[in-house]
Each structure stands twice: as structure tokens, then as C-alpha cells.
Amino acid sequence: MFVLATTTLTKESREYLIRQYPAVEFQFLEDVDQAGARLSEADILLTFGSDLTVAHIKRAKKLKWIMLLSAGMDEMPLQAIKENGIKLTNVRAIHQIPMAEYAISMLLNAYRQNDTLWRNQYAREWDSSLEIKEISNRTMTIVGAGAIGEELARLAKAFRMKTIGVSRSGKPSDNFDQMYQTNEILKGLKEADFVVSILPSTEETLYIYKQEHFKEMKDSAVFLNMGRGDVVQSETLIMALDQNQISHAILDVFEQEPLPKTHPLWQHPKVTMTPHISGVSLHYIPRALELFEKNLKTYLKDGSLVVNLIDLKRGY
């Protein structure tokens, strides 16, 4: 069995895999083009996927399984993979923990005036007269309530929040007190103190938040977007903030990334922005390799893949 890894892994990870699976041959490269002729010998490919083309798939005659170290499959040659009978697994839900932590952390910061406290530390200013709010017992609406939303809702429940979800199916889900379908989104926004958007970028979600949506929210609502930036136009969002339709926006994703230097969102007084880092985590690669190993163990035993096998007909 020959595993070709076409992405940078730490020395520690590489040595661990070699030690742990003596029956497997590993080759570790930085991208798929370094593989040359060896691509045609690979049984298993470990990849981030963005450098993989139809031509690579055609050359990989022995390939039976691609382990994708990413959750998004937009850039993958899915049709060619399907036609060549190659199985595909990914790292779905790998962003759950860091993104749920991001949301809780940023909402706590917004409610607890941590930016002012920070500035005061740098200025050696002892001011304990700040108004500090609690996120506990508030209402959180999660729009795009998938795997990440479920983890966030679980934490929100620990903070004794009421949790409302908006999802395509509208089906009840653990840790959600209420669930709406996407076409009922306005109902879900009405009572939220926190609106957390984790929507992907699709035709249906493009500019889904319009003026009427922000008008429907509480004046005191905090809007947090860590899904995709094209769910709302910057102008719409800035107007909602300037007209006090909501109180604050926390943005990790933007219509254009990196956000242009002159964009008004950078220094809008009601905006906290971060550079698309909500899913960044030191634990990403170890966690991805853990998922790989779960499948590798069963694959070596009986050829089965038990975790995150993609149905190539449906595409997810």
C-alpha cells in the first residue's frame, strides 16, 4: 500500500505515520506536481485538493482513495474522481471547535468591553466603572445551523441561552430550542440578541440579508458573520449600523478578501473585524490526520472507509 501525501506536514506527523503503519509506504511532498511518475503508483492520496486537476486524476491509474484535508470541495475535480471509481473522504466538521470558540469569544468581547479594558491597560488607566453585560441567558439565532452551528448551540446552551436555528430543512436538532426553515428566516431573527451567520456561499444565500432583515432584528442585536462574506452587501450592513437597526457587527468574512485597505468596515466604530481566521487552529492538522487514521485503519483491514465518505452523486 502506497500513500502519497502532497501537502506540507510537520516532521512529527510524518514520523508518526511511518512509525504507526509499518506496512504502508509513505511519500511526503509539498504539492502534487512534485510526484512525477510516482503519482501513477499511489493507492491513496492525501491532499488539500486545491492543486488537483482532471489530468492528475487520469494519471493516477492505481488511485482508490483520496483523503481530502479540507472541508470544502468547490475546487475538486469531482466528476473525474467519480468516473475513475475513486473514493473520496474529507474533514467535514473539522472547523466545529475553533469556529464555535471564535463566536463565543467575540460575543464575550463585545459584551464585556474588552477592547476598552485593553486600551486602558496600555494607557495605565484604572477605570472600573465600565458597563459590562453578560452573554448568559440571552437569545442566539444561528443561521445556517449545520455541524458548526450545532457545536456553537451546545456552548450557547451551557451559557443558558435560548437557541434558535435556521436551516434548509428546518428539522429539530439537539441544543436548539427552535428551528426555522430558510424561508422563515425573518421569524428567527426577531428575538435574537446574537445573530450568528454560518451560511455557505450559494445562489440561495447570495445577499440573503437585506435591509428588511436588519430592521427585523433588535436594535441591540449583535450580528456575527463567520460563514461567507457575500451573504450581505457591505453598504446594507453599514446602513443598518449607522441607522441603529443593530448595535454591533463582528465580521470574519467579506465580499472581497483581503478587505481593501480603504474599505470603511476597517474602522467603523461598531465593527469588530478579523481576517477570516475563525476556523484557524493549531489543532487542524492533528485533527485531520486523526480522521485519516480512522479510515486508514479500516481500509487496511477490509477496504472500508467509515468516516466522512462523500457520496459523489450528491456531492457531499
Contacts to its own copies by CB under 8 A? 97-98, 101-102, 104-106, 108-109, 112, 114-115, 117-118, 120-122, 124, 126-128, 130-136, 154-155, 157-159, 257-259, 261, 266-267, 272-277, 280-283
Residue 44 to residue 47: CA distance in whole angstroms: 10
Question: Which residues are CB-neighbours of 73 under 8 A, at least 6 positions away?
Answer: 49, 88, 90, 310, 315, 316
Residue with cell 492505481: 62
> Minimal distance in Å, beta carbon 126 to its own copies?
4
Closer Cβ to its own copies, 46 or 103, answer by number: 103
Contacts (Cβ under 8 Å, ≥6 apart) of 251? 224, 225, 229, 237, 265, 271, 272, 273, 274
Q: Are 171 and 223 in contact (CB under 8 A)?
A: no
Residue 44 C-beta: closest distance to its own copies, Å = 28
Alpha-carbon gap, residue 255 to 236, rounded angstroms? 12
Read off the C-alpha cell for 219: 436594535
Q: Are 272 and 250 in contact (CB under 8 A)?
A: yes
**Nearest distance, CB of residue 112 and its own copies, angstroms:** 6
Instruction: Tell me the closest approach of the beta carbon of residue 22 to its own copies, in angstroms.
Output: 29
Looking at the Cβ atoms of 64 and 112, the one nearer to its own copies is 112
Closer CB to its own copies, residue 89 or residue 139?
139
With a CB cutoff of 8 Å and minimum separation 6, the contacts of 115 are 109, 272
Among residues 37 and 282, whose Cβ is nearest to its own copies? 282
Cβ at position 123, least distance to its own copies in Å: 9
- Based on CB atoms, which residue is closest to its own copies, 264 or 315? 264
Nearer to its own copies, 71 or 80 (CB): 71
Element at 162 (helix H, strand E): strand 162-167
Shortest CB 261 distance to its own copies, Å: 5
